[in-house]
Amino acid sequence: MPAAARYLLLAQIAFWSAMLLCLAIAHGGLGDNHGFSFYGGRLSTILPYAIGFLAAAALITQAAALLDRSGRSRLAAGLRILVVLLLADLLTPDSLGIFVFQVAFGALLVIVVASLPDR
């Protein structure tokens, strides 16, 4: 597995592990509010929630740096945009969470399309 792919896999593992920990701490969060952003507003879950986002952002940044060095600058740029959106989501009040999610999802689609090989 290429090193950049390994960093992206570790980012996913870190993020989802943190979300599962939040779910274990506060069971009803996903149904009570706006999805995972519920955990960012609770004192009991804010630390693992923030650590999950920050760890994913750091690992994605590492992957982007490796991709830049290997000539995949378009994908690297897309991943850097994703990091900015992850951090914006972390700092966004819950009432704006769905908007930020939709922007991040749209950016993810752009990243995937931009990373497809040219034909």
Whether 57 maps to a domain, the answer reads yes
Higher pLDDT, 44 or 116: 44
For the chain, how many structural domains are there in total?
1
- What is the distance between the alpha carbons of residues 116 and 119, in angstroms, rounded to a whole number? 9
Q: Which domain holds residue 102?
A: 3-26+36-115
Closest CA to 107 of 61, 75, 69: 75
Predicted pLDDT of residue 74: 87
Q: What is the pTM (predicted TM-score) of this model?
A: 0.75
pLDDT of 97 higher than 70: no
Predicted pLDDT of residue 54: 94
Q: Is the dihedral of CA 10, 15, 17, 18 positive or negative?
A: positive
Confidence grade of residue 36 (pLDDT, cut at 50, 70, 90):
confident
Whether 31 maps to a domain, the answer reads no
* Burial (0-12, 13-18, 19+ Cβ within 10 Å), 113: exposed
Predicted pLDDT of residue 58: 96
